[in-house]
Amino acid sequence: MLDFVQHRCRQSGEGIKMKKYRVYQVDSFTREKFSGNPAGVVYHADGLTKRQMQQLARELNNSETAFIFTGKKPDYDVEVRYFTPTTEVPICGHATIAAHYVRAIEEKLSTSCWVQKTKAGILPIDIEKDETGDYTIVMTQGKPEITAPFAHELIVRIVEALGITLADLREDCPVAIASAGHSKVMVGIKERCLLDRLQPDLVKLSAISGEIGCNGYYVFTLHPEEKVLVHGRMFAPAIGIAEDPVTGNANGPLGAYLVHFGLCQELAASDVFEFYIIQGEAIGRPGTMRVRVEKKGQLPTKIQIFGQAVIVFATEIEM
């Protein structure tokens, strides 16, 4: 189709100014290709329109694609915009990890601190270069916010949409919305085997999302006796994501949620609460991250997630 358009324009004497864009496929929260959470990254996206970004995100068909724009110094070093296949979202954890991993590779960065602009606010990013020359990206998320627990009637509907029962919920984990720039409904359940078997009704979850103004449902189990505290799954059908493999914008808010409701107190006795998560096991794309919560008592004050990544492929596109 592109060749046809170019041919017609040449015939009519019209010129088309095409620009090449560098496009990456990156797996975040892993060092192994084909695991973790895949994200598209468009490096130096300056010049792309919103429509073109949406087209690229739909074509790449990842849960999110990140577009990196030149910053406006001294306010911020870089701007990043995020698109699912169907819509723009304010921020995305795994696509942020992917975007700054690409920046670190492209620009041969050393350990350094940066400021990025997103539609969720202006946030710091730390790039840590290790002794092997590879990178870990540290994303500081937005202001932690936790809602009051949901009413019983709404919980019943969410439980039904997830295909579980009220008896499957952890009694110490209220169903509530947690946010650190992008909100998720937190649903703690008792058994990991049930977590792996979940087959939610995506249409029902989408309908509830429209009512509560929150598009994601993070279902998790807690394992304080193990090195990895959290196993989780995240569903966001209202924005075109049936299931997200590994979700920074779920596990960061989860850290705030655990502190807010006084959970895992034996692990969070100091002013810093750190833990590891695994997500994506049930769909064959396991990935891990470290979550760090700074807090004052049961008040979470700062959320950071630590993620590694690997480039699967890179190419160019003319638009």
Q: Catalytic residue at 64?
A: yes
Local structure of 163: helix, strand or coil: coil
285 class by beta-carbon count within 10 Å (0-12 exposed, 13-18 middle, 19+ buried): buried
- Which of the 8 DSSP states describes residue 36? S
Phi then psi for residue 166, to 5 deg, are -60, -35
Is residue 141 a contact partner of residue 304, using CB atoms and an 8 Å limit?
Answer: yes
Specify the pTM.
0.88
Give the whole-angstrom CA distance, residue 220 versus residue 231: 6
Cβ neighbours, 10 Å, residue 49: 9
Is residue 252 a contact partner of residue 93, using CB atoms and an 8 Å limit?
Answer: yes
Give the whole-angstrom CA distance, residue 242 versus residue 233: 11
Q: What is the pLDDT of residue 266?
A: 73
User: What is the per-residue pLDDT across 1-54, written as a single tens digit (0 to 9) for each?
Assistant: 444 444 444 444 455 678 999 999 999 999 999 999 999 999 999 999 999 999
Which residues, 6+ apart, have CB-to-CB distance to 292 below 8 Å?
Answer: 255, 272, 273, 274, 303, 304, 305, 306
Q: Tell me, what amino acid is at 84?
A: T
CA-nearest of 212, 218, 148, 214 to 189 is: 218
Q: What is the pLDDT of residue 239?
A: 87
Q: What is the pLDDT of residue 240?
A: 83
Spans in the chain with pLDDT lower than 50: 1-13
CA-nearest of 42, 52, 50, 58 to 18 is: 52
Among residues 14, 64, 79, 107, the one annotated as catalytic is: 64
